[in-house]
Structure 1
Amino acid sequence: MNTAEQAGHEAKDATRRAAASRPMTVLTRVGLACRGVLYALIGVVALQIAAGDGSKEADKAGAISTLAALPFGAVLLWIMTAGFAALALWQASEAVFGHDKALERGESVARVVVYVLVFFTLISVLTTSKATSDDQKSQDLTAKLLALPAGPFIVGAIGLGFVVLGAYWVRRGVTKGFREELDRGRMSPRARSVMDRLGLGGYVARGAIAALAGIFVVQAAITYDADKAGGIDATLRQFADTPAGAWLLVVVALGVLLFAGYCFGESRWRRTS
């Protein structure tokens, strides 16, 4: 083994040890709980939208802004910043060392991207007291991609990727594939039953949101109109515009709240190594 290869192996080993260390494991579990807080706030705002109050944004930026306005909000946001940084490092380590299947590696990479974006949103709120909505971020990024050569094809492929991800999450919920991520040996029979219900409802709701968001991105590619794309907030509002009306949004919002509950349970029982 030459010097460069040895240095590479040492760097990988150091990264693996850092991700598996006790402090990082604690921060990762804190981050999973923080993710539950964000989804809980998104679900509550979605219910408010279904009831006719559309003054708030049902996305991660809106949830973070809501937390910032609370007493000791800055302290909460700094804790969440550390937690999401730990989540990003953990999932990066999983993508490199923890998975054998390409789909699982791809999911970890996608999670890294999401956690990094949340991390920078938290930093933005802490330093400037402002957070760009997920809808605006999606539209800005879509516009930049559409301006590239073969931009519509790139955007369309991303949209189809979201649709596939949504179907994968729905399947994961229905088949209870999330069980493999939990240390079920440490869980009581009642805890396993509760987590099964939370995971089923939560993953199906997440999958439905991701799939509908993907459809909007595909529409943006077809029409060459970045405004067709949107984040969680715009997608949730579209559920209220279906023939089922606000009741469908209520069902999806309750699913988001179930996923928030799953995140809280996951923070305790998730396998992190």
Structure 2
Amino acid sequence: MNTSAMAQSGRFRARRMARGSVTEGAARAGFAARGVIYLLVGALALQIAFGDTGRQADRGGALQELAQKPFGAVLLWALGIGLVGMALWRLSEALFGSVGKDGRSARKRLMATARFAFYVFVAYSVLSFAASRHQSGGSSDQQSRDATARALEIPAGQWLVGAAGLVIVGAGGWIAVRAVLRKYHDKLRLGQMSRRTRQLVDVTGVVGGAARGLVFAVAGIFAVRAAIDYEPDKAKGLDDTLRTLADTPLGPWLLVCVAAGLVLFGVFSFAMARWRRV
């Protein structure tokens, strides 16, 4: 066997290992962990909408809520390990490509790399909380303000913050549109679902994805405003973004709808854990 053939065989074995049962299990654990976080954030946002303003509807608040449950420490570690699994699966997609006809394209690998970096950060924050029971860096709102303030201090900081805000707005719109168009069908094993199950998955995928996209877009708008006005305090994390929805002319009912959507997205994540093609 020549060197080229050996290299090709090695790459094939690496791709097969990357898509093996271990990686598949890691991906499914990651989707389940994501589902838990969105369920908790959505439930906390619902409580805020109905008057319990002492809650914190973001990842930190979700972890605090989980820590107070029976076997909370075990649940936190399981959540963090699940998110590590998601990060490793995204890394395998970046290195070896994902499922689908264009899964090995540069665009898909770049997106997988960005998702890998994101889930590394999220997994680290969850595991750090599990180890110390202290949310390092404060709430998502404080983290957003601090990051915006630091970015505004560097040369061309206003432009960078504004551009980042526009990217987040675009990402939110992209998430919502893809959800409404049911683009996730391409990634699901629809043949393994009954007709009733497919209908339920579509409700959670469309409504949940649209709500998630809306939250991203609104957070991006606040980042753009912070850049234009050169005021980092106008940047908002997840908690403040959700609370702002209750201050619209629609009142708390808009927050109720979005919060319910985030709960549905959590349920949709569980469906992805069960039927996602990996």
State TM-score, norm by structure 2. 0.89
> Which one of 186, 189, 204 corresponds to residue 183 of structure 1?
189
Would you say the 8 A contact 1:15–1:93 is kept in 2?
Answer: no
Q: C-alpha distance in 2, partners of 1:175/1:40?
A: 23
Q: C-alpha distance in 2, partners of 1:102/1:27?
A: 23
* Partner residue, 1:94: 93
> Which one of 113, 133, 155 corresponds to residue 117 of structure 2?
113
Question: CA 1:101–1:175 in 2, change beyond 3 Å: closer, same or farther?
Answer: farther
Question: CA 1:149–1:184 in 2, change beyond 3 Å: closer, same or farther?
Answer: same
Would you say the 8 A contact 2:27–2:86 is kept in 1?
Answer: yes
Question: CA 1:267–1:172 in 2, change beyond 3 Å: closer, same or farther?
Answer: same
Q: Structure 2: which amino acid aligns with 1:22?
A: S
2:73 counterpart of 1:74: yes
- Aligned-pair CA distance for 1:216: 0.5
2:25 counterpart of 1:38: no
* Partner residue, 1:85: 84
Q: Structure 2: which amino acid aligns with 1:161?
A: V
Q: C-alpha distance in 2, partners of 1:119/1:235?
A: 22
Question: CA 1:106–1:55 in 2, change beyond 3 Å: closer, same or farther?
Answer: farther
1:103-147 residue CA offsets vs partner (Å, 9 max, x unmatched): 544543342233122211112212221113222222222222111
- Aligned-pair CA distance for 1:16: 3.8
Pairs aligned (count)? 267
2:214 counterpart of 1:208: yes
Identity %: 45
Question: CA 1:9–1:90 in 2, change beyond 3 Å: closer, same or farther?
Answer: farther
Q: C-alpha distance in 2, partners of 1:155/1:7?
A: 44
State TM-score, norm by structure 1. 0.90
- Determine helix, strand or coil for the equivalent of 2:24: helix
Gap regions ≥5 residues in structure 2: none
Q: Structure 2: which amino acid aligns with 1:23?
A: V
Would you say the 8 A contact 2:165–2:221 is kept in 1?
Answer: yes
Question: CA 1:76–1:53 in 2, change beyond 3 Å: closer, same or farther?
Answer: same
Q: C-alpha distance in 1, partners of 2:73/2:8?
A: 39
Q: Structure 2: which amino acid aligns with 1:223?
A: D
Q: Give 1:142-153 correspondences, 5 Å limit.
A: 142-153=148-159
> Which one of 215, 229, 232 corresponds to residue 226 of structure 1?
232
Would you say the 8 A contact 2:26–2:88 is kept in 1?
Answer: no
